Structure 1
């Protein structure tokens, strides 16, 4: 028979082992909340800033005959392009959509040659058509990314995300999450104008 002191020591070790998963879980939850509230998601860094867009070719959305799909080559033909990754099932995409409609009709941006391209992320053609039919279509071209592969190559975390691409195909800016009125006026428009400036 083991001495009492050894039995107590054994019980203490067992109780520590019982609580270890709980402590680990609590630490993971704490880390999650720290990351969740550690700042503005739109400021997430992107390894692609300053680099050319990744190679891709997206077909058009079925049933949108007047909106072609597009490739990386289409983003190297001069002028600034906003590439908006969206989906009809994404509530924040509906919230920011009015700002893209306004942007598409802005005479000053039209004069600069700014256009908007959409990447329809993991969405059904009928749902995309319904979304654009109800809320308006600001896109000069829309590519159907049914598998989500192209969005992954762009480093997209989730929809919506918006990229500003210079006329030579280099990514100038990335905005993560829905664009608010404040972000539209204070961030997006200045970044578009900066990207549209001639290179020295």
Structure 2
């Protein structure tokens, strides 16, 4: 009887948790140092030094990712809004595939880097694309979002966090 109560307790707790919320050990830690490959001469290259000094949003995407295509129109709006500097990490692609994808869908990113060998993705704990990381002015990861950024996620999660970080200048 006691074992059944314990098992029932675990299930009850599990039902109260968000199944999309995967824990990450990177929250409040510095963005890992990285060196990415360029997608091409015409696309500014994302570097480690870019993620410091201002609040930034780093989006991990891939040309092979269906959910990335679904979120892309929202990223175009975010990139054009000026609310935050948006950077892209093209994960597990070739430079050609990344360029073709951005040419087809548009480039919302201020800078983009290619993570073909997954080194940055592994260091960030990326489990799939798309994933997005909100970085504070000190280069620390303040929030990780798994899955597409929808208008609701942008309005209800990212914007308040950006305003909080900018208000506290952390």
> Fold-level match, TM-score > 0.5?
yes
Q: Contact 2:79–2:108 (CA<8 Å) still a contact in 1? A: yes
Q: Report the structure number with the largest CA radius of gyration.
A: 1
Secondary structure at the counterpart of residue 113 of structure 2: strand
Once the two structures are TM-superposed, the CA of residue 183 in structure 1 deviates from its matched residue by 1.2
Q: What is the alpha-carbon root mean square deviation over aligned residues?
A: 1.7
Q: Contact 1:59–1:68 (CA<8 Å) still a contact in 2? A: no
Structure 1 unaligned segments of length 5 or more: list them: 1-34
Which of 37, 40, 43 matches 2:19? 40
Secondary structure at the counterpart of residue 73 of structure 1: helix
Q: Deviations over 1:14-66 (max 9, x none)?
A: xxxxxxxxxxxxxxxxxxxxx9xx6331x2221111111111111211x3x23
Q: Contact 2:58–2:88 (CA<8 Å) still a contact in 1? A: yes
Which of 29, 35, 38 matches 1:57? 35
Aligned to 1:150: 120
Ranges of 4+ aligned residues in structure 1 off by more than 3 Å: none
Structure 2 unaligned segments of length 5 or more: list them: 1-13
Aligned to 1:90: 65
Aligned to 2:76: 101
Q: How many residues align?
A: 155
Secondary structure at the counterpart of residue 84 of structure 1: strand
Once the two structures are TM-superposed, the CA of residue 70 in structure 1 deviates from its matched residue by 2.5
CA distance, structure 2, for counterparts of residue 146 and residue 131 of structure 1: 15
Once the two structures are TM-superposed, the CA of residue 74 in structure 1 deviates from its matched residue by 2.0
CA distance, structure 2, for counterparts of residue 132 and residue 60 of structure 1: 13
Structure (1 or 2) with the greater helix fraction = 1
Secondary structure at the counterpart of residue 58 of structure 1: coil
Q: Deviations over 1:135-180 (max 9, x none)?
A: 1101111111011111000111111100000111011111011122
CA distance, structure 1, for counterparts of residue 135 and residue 55 of structure 2: 6
Structure 1 length-normalised TM = 0.72
Once the two structures are TM-superposed, the CA of residue 80 in structure 1 deviates from its matched residue by 0.9
Q: Contact 2:137–2:169 (CA<8 Å) still a contact in 1? A: no
Which of 46, 54, 59 matches 1:70? 46
CA distance, structure 1, for counterparts of residue 104 and residue 162 of structure 2: 27
CA distance, structure 2, for counterparts of residue 148 and residue 171 of structure 1: 18
Does residue 127 of structure 1 match 2:97? yes
